[in-house]
Structure 1
Amino acid sequence: MRVLLVEDDDLIGQGIVAGLCKHGIAVHHVGTAAAAEAAQLDDTFQALVLDLGLPDRDGMELMARMRTFEPDLPVLILSARDAIEHKLTGLQGGADDYLIKPFDLRELAARLHALVRRTQGRAVQSIEAGPFRLEPDSGLAWLHGEPVTLSRREVDLLIHLAAADGRWVLPDALSERLYGLGEEVNSNALNVHIHNIRRKLGAKAIETTRGLGYRLGWRPNP
């Protein structure tokens, strides 16, 4: 799992990054709303952990803006605002969960895993992009109506690229999604998966640009 953490306190942010890493969660940490929006354009995340007291914008406003691009992005507010009114405002304003500082990192990790599981449960039954169709749960795939056999890693890779909705995904971020942080991975493994997908689906199935990464060659149908 890969999450975006928006926390302006560097010490707290570093502690969260280190703590969640032990639970197999990769964290991209930024300290401002502007940096969070830039990260959203450059990468894809399974969840957003959001502090409300940001130096350049209110956290609730940032959440609303980010949700215009990714309506189903799970959001967990992490805040020292502990009054019930603050919590209700956050949840009624669209957050999926609200955790008050100080907190236990084990609880934060557990809540994030629960949020992502619920989001996956709301996932679409199939992905359709150009001549390609994929059922994420079963792994069944078709190209021009003909069945194609894909490995589980290849299916996961295509799901992540489709979720990026046309945005480029950096190789390191894609590898973290496929393997997590605790698995020993050959440095050439991602290239092998990309090569095998292109062999099965055609060279145009996955686009590559140096410095930007990868994206699905066909845009998912709305």
Structure 2
Amino acid sequence: MTEAKICGIKNQSDVEIVNELKPDYIGFVFAKSKRQVTLEKARELGEMLDRNIKKVGVFVNETPEKVSEIAKACSLHILQFHGTETPAYCKSFKGYEIWKSFVGDENIFENIKKYQGAVDAFLVDSSVPGSGKKFDWNHIKGLPESYKIILAGGLSPENVAEAVKTVKPQVVDVSSGVEGENGKSREKVEKFIEGVRLHG
């Protein structure tokens, strides 16, 4: 069963949408981004969030101390790393599920191998995370079924069913693909989750 993650939650309206539609995960972006939130904002929004939805913190080359401070204050369940974090860095966090991002290119197998045993899941994205650009899914065909794969990059309500059927990831991760004018679009989030649940 493929699960859904709605990333880039940044205001109360976003929280109300996910509380109603119930994805499996939401993401708070703590790295530089137009969807970046502060520790205080993420904590405030997290307290409004349905308890069954898991909170993922997205970081890029942050100090371990800062990651730990944010993770504890915001009661995060999962730490997602998008920079040049090493296997040793990823292994240093105890009590959290760890997701590490990789670019979905021809070097994906080689790059993922280095992180076996250091992370819980491999997030495969386009070369420009958050850009809404899709990568060639053929690059990740043949990854061992024992790997937990989170598929990101250019996903939308229109192509998520195809993504689920083609790649069979454990999780699909969307951000810009479900944006509205001032945050998430309820209609797009609903269609996205529907596409996942119907075909996953």
User: What band does the TM-score fall into relative to the shorter chain?
Assistant: 0.3 to 0.5
CA radius of gyration, larger in: 1
Q: TM-score, normalised by structure 1?
A: 0.36
Length-normalised TM-score, structure 2:
0.39
Answer 1 or 2: higher relative contact order, Cα 8 Å, separation at least 6: 2
